Structure 1
């Protein structure tokens, strides 16, 4: 299946192109954009060979590019205050992990990986986007994937096919892991590059097998509501790395490279072979994999309303066994459930960020009202609420005005 993004130009692409003209005084050679993602179910399973079920959001990060005849990389970004920020110019051959830091590190990391693959052509890049940062919606992966497509095009590798996109996702993950220093799995980058509109991506991270499963909640009177709690998270400053180290240790003890090989009936034997401190984490992963498989079966049957219990169980497991939720996420989930959501869960790495709720259209107003009121009563910032619509993956944008 061809995952190329549709030809229409997003707001992010227009902003990136306009900002490029502001910085460089001329139009870019091209604009590439990549989406953030929501993970319907399958959290903290992607770095242990498990199953995930993300879909791409309409929110995008765009990279406007002009390619150079040298190996210099210049990068600027349109900030949330609508001011353009510049990173110091970089030479691709000189890039090393840890320098630069901040937002420019994600761009530099991709260039560093491509350099290792023999692609060192420089570029002038200007970034803009509307994927909320720190909300657990993969803004960093969107930046990496848009950058990768732009730099690949500049090095003579445009329009990757579906299998090539999966490979590029691995390169982008390597940039985040080895250059930026954040030990994420491959879920986010694969979702940004390989999702298609109107579908969730059923990904077996152990084998790499991918299936596009139709998912049109709106046609059945349902909305996947994103609840951005505005409690910002940073994987590099959270317990994410600790959880990954613990899972890696458990897999070594079990003598396996993938927890995806263990089904739910084998769970008691698996847990008995582990030390006490590893058992809750592994219990979450094994049961979460089972929940993904259950949800996929229900979606194939068109039984969208029946997936709510799996979403609820996923959040409870992430809260109690994997211990990556937060008071704001628990509040959002509890409020949504009480006000009529069929199911709700945190999405993303946790420790803040966003939750999602599966909401009947006739209950959406009451759910949103309850969330705003509940956050106000808790003296928290108002949550940002918006529907999540499965959208196309990354690609080159149409010509911008």
Structure 2
């Protein structure tokens, strides 16, 4: 059994000199009158390539960050969760563990997602212990670096551990991916997988169904710079993210119908791909030949599938996309299959002998990824595009990372160009915003 030991720090094993942990312990002492039993740490992540394809069933290439979510935890003698954040902008919460979702999620709801995921994994008569918790996160929120998933994952891990259960890494990663959907977004499993399966010194190629992770050793001389666009979007507060999930689902179902396979069992583009047994290049050609460029209306989709609009809504849409009138199916499907092919090429290139040519190949794929996310998936933002444009003078490649509509870019830079690139961003991007916000 693989444990989650790297994500857990018993209080007796605290580093002797760590200012952040010392402050966390002190805040816990001041709040609850004693020291925590243990601390949970879950890192943020940056996705190097493979955006908006994990929920379609395709592999991705993230790596963990130093920035993380810390939870200092001890049990209490109630059934409630007392949740305090080191950041005073978040109010103290006294919560019951039950959670059935919400329309306008706050930070504590992400914590409750993790608790609910654990509840559903345990026998129905299992009584969870109450917890006292102080949270301290330094992953920028709404930045595309997985701050919310880190909180969900940390929540689930501390709930298991306080109740005497040590889960298998792959199992808890899968559990957390499903649990976060209670917040309302129909995401994939990339963020949770890298949170538990990351290893030092490499990125990961993460595949799904079943979940598995393979080390990707990045070439020597590859430096990745993350820059915040300072445009923020709470993906759980809009339907943009779920609309893309639904458009991919509908595209998959229309492709399945056209190829005379059982579309009712198709939920992801990866499903129809597997049913047809062809390669990604052939899937790209099928999309181009079978799906038209104009947006599809509900009535047209229902007619093609041979069902009513109401049945289509019940089978394929989410609650917050039922009012969407038109869907761009060809564009979304093309991005997914082409991005999956870029991931395959990225992994293959990393396995070659590293040289400048290798870095240029990787960078080219990153630029292609951003252009596709901007044009086909419409998930970029003018401030992201501006950073990518600036990067072209200094970097091998650059792209948005995370869900998009704001957040961060990740750029592949040669070591001797890093300082020049950072200075260019300060002068050409951040100066206009009157800030200096490099991560």
Normalised by the shorter chain, which TM-score bucket?
0.7 to 0.9
Quick one: distance in 1 between partners of 2:52 and 2:436? 24
CA contact (8 A) 2:186 2:245 kept: yes
1:356 aligns with 2:364: no
- Per the TM alignment, residue 71 of structure 1 is displaced from its structure 2 partner at its CA by 1.8
Which of 384, 387, 391 is equivalent to 1:336?
Answer: 391
Per-residue CA deviations over 1:177-235 (Å, capped at 9, x if unaligned) read 12x212221111111111111111101224423212223x5xx2331000111111211
Distance 1:13 1:345 in 2: 34
The corresponding residue for 1:392 is none
Deviations 1:41-75 (A, max 9, x none): 00000111011000000111001111134421111
**Aligned partner (choices 342, 362, 380) of residue 325 of structure 1:** 380
Which segments of 5 or more consecutive residues in structure 1 lack a partner in the other structure? 387-401
- Aligned equivalent of 2:303: none
Question: What secondary structure, in the 3-state scheme, does the structure 1 residue paired with 2:199 have?
Answer: coil
1:91 to 81, 91, 96: 96
TM-score, with structure 1 as normaliser: 0.86
**Number of aligned residue pairs:** 372
- Hey, what's the Cα distance between the residues in 1 that align with 2:430 and 2:112? 40
Residue of structure 2 equivalent to 1:171: 175
Cα distance change on mapping 1:14 and 1:320 into 2, 3 Å: farther
Matched, 1:385 2:438: yes
Q: C-alpha separation between the residues in 2 aligned to 1:117 and 1:104?
A: 20
Report the alpha carbon displacement of residue 371 of structure 1 after superposing the two structures with TM.
Answer: 1.0
2:359 equivalent to 1:310: no
- Asked if structure 2 preserves the Cα contact closer than 8 Å seen for 1:20 and 1:27, the reply is yes
Compute the TM-score of the two structures, normalised by the length of structure 2. Answer: 0.79
Structure with larger RCO (C-alpha < 8 A, sep 6+)? 1
CA root-mean-square deviation: 2.3
Distance 2:121 2:83 in 1: 21
Query: Residues 2 and 214 from structure 1, CA distance in 2 versus in 1: closer, same or farther, beyond 3 angstroms?
Result: farther
Q: Secondary structure at the match of 1:364?
A: helix
d(CA) in 1 for partners of 2:149, 2:99: 20
Within-5 A mapping of 1:2-401: 4-5=5-6, 9=15, 13-79=21-87, 85-87=91-93, 89-92=94-97, 94-98=98-102, 101-118=105-122, 120-158=128-166, 160=167, 164-178=168-182, 180-215=183-218, 220-238=220-238, 239-255=240-256, 256-260=266-270, 261=273, 262-276=279-293, 277-303=328-354, 305=359, 306-338=361-393, 340-376=394-430, 379-382=432-435, 384-386=437-439
Cα–Cα, structure 1 residues 14 and 36, in superposed 2: closer, same or farther, change >3 Å?
Answer: farther
Is this contact kept in 1: 2:249–2:268, CA < 8 A?
no
Q: State the secondary structure of the residue aligned to 1:51.
A: coil
Q: Is the 8 A contact 1:76 1:86 kept in 2?
A: yes
Q: How far off is 1:127 after superposition?
A: 0.3
Q: Separation in 1 of the partners of 2:283 and 2:179? A: 35
User: Contact 1:3–1:194 (CA<8 Å) still a contact in 2?
Assistant: no
Matched with 1:393 is none
Q: Whole-Å Cα distance in 2 between the matches of residues 75 and 24 of structure 1?
A: 11
1:337–1:3: structure 2 CA closer, same or farther, 3 Å change rule? farther
Aligned residues of 1:271 and 1:282 also touching (Cα < 8 A): no
Check conservation: 1:49, 1:257, Cα contact below 8 A: no
Larger Rg: 2
